[in-house]
Amino acid sequence: MLLTGSAVAYSTAGYFTRLIDLDAWTILFWRGLFAGLFLAGFIAWQEWRRLGEAIRAIGGEGLLVALCSALATVCFLNAMRLTSVADVMVIGATGPFLTAAMAWLLIGEREDLATLIASLVALLGVALMAGGALPEGRLLGDLLAFAMTALMALVMVLIRRKRGVSMLPAVCLSTFLCAAIVVPWARPLTVSGHDLVLLALFGSTQFGLGLLLLTLGMRLVSAPRAALINALDTPLAPLWVWLAFGETPAGATIAGGLIVMVAVVGDIGLKQLKERSRGQPSAGAPLDAIR
């Protein structure tokens, strides 16, 4: 549920970028800043008695999570500028496989065959959504999209590796770091009051809430399965734009999106059935683990 909520939050990016008529660097600056303030507020509320201890507990892995997450955001922005959206979507959909490989190499976590098959089905669904736009890609943009996918896979594995420690301070740091990276190209003082309100919503509900739910959910679910569930944002993104702006998605987009959703829901349902048959709780871990 946490990871599904994260995917829903992330999927609203297209909706917000349509509402805000500013350059991408300025949007990234304010989005990162407001996301950081949102996460900092949550951390202060949750850890107010042991805030310093919670920050120190993230260790070197936490600093690496912050750096990789910030760089992944910058790579994503530039990939979208240098290659086709279709290429970015398809390369991003390989995330579950990269995550599974890293999880096996770094923490010895093996994923079951059903999740890997569901990941392959989801990848095919994304490829169908991309359709004929794939030949429009360019090499540098594709490399940046792959770098973004690999960096996020590493972030998921590192969070999973230290699932006994809250990595919320690390992802909070990543949002501020992202804002700092784009400062040389941003024009934050040119923003109107109306756009600032929209940017606050963008940063807190899309980026901040998405990171919060992803970080909490990663501690309860294997890294490859988390990456698979996170793929839900791909078919949901055109849905919000269609509902808000009346932009009807193409038939291939609808069909591919349905395939992705069936793959994710099927994997979740199959996992729950297996756990119930073994007499295990379907959550996979005590809820207290996220506190």
Distance CA(175)–CA(203), nearest Å, equals 9
Phi-psi region at 182: left, alpha or beta (left = phi > 0; alpha = psi -120 to 50): alpha
Most confident of 44-53, 157-166, 175-184, 217-226: 175-184
Given a cut of 60, whether residue 47 has pLDDT beyond it is: yes
What is the CA 164 to chain-centroid distance, rounded? 21
Better-predicted residue by pLDDT, 35 or 95: 35
Please list the helix, strand and coil fractions of the chain in percent, rounded to the nearest 5, in that order. 80, 0, 20
Q: Which residue reads 């065959």 in tokens?
A: 113
The mean pLDDT of 128-146, rounded to a whole number, is: 73
Percent of the chain at pLDDT above 70?
A: 92
What does the pLDDT read at residue 108?
Answer: 87
Choose between 285 and 197: higher pLDDT: 197
Whether 6 has a pLDDT exceeding 80, the answer reads: yes
Q: What is the DSSP string of 225-250?
A: HHHHHHTTHHHHHHHHHHHHH--PPP
Q: What is the pTM of this model?
A: 0.85
Alpha-carbon gap, residue 229 to 235, rounded angstroms: 12
Q: What integer pLDDT is reported at residue 200 of this predicted model?
A: 97
Of 39, 67, 73, whose CA–CA distance to 172 is shortest?
Answer: 39
Closest residue by Cα to residue 210 from 38, 71, 85: 38
Which amino acid is residue 218, in one-letter code?
M
What pLDDT, in 10s, does the model give residues 222-279?
A: 888 898 998 898 888 888 988 888 888 878 888 888 899 899 988 888 877 877 777 6
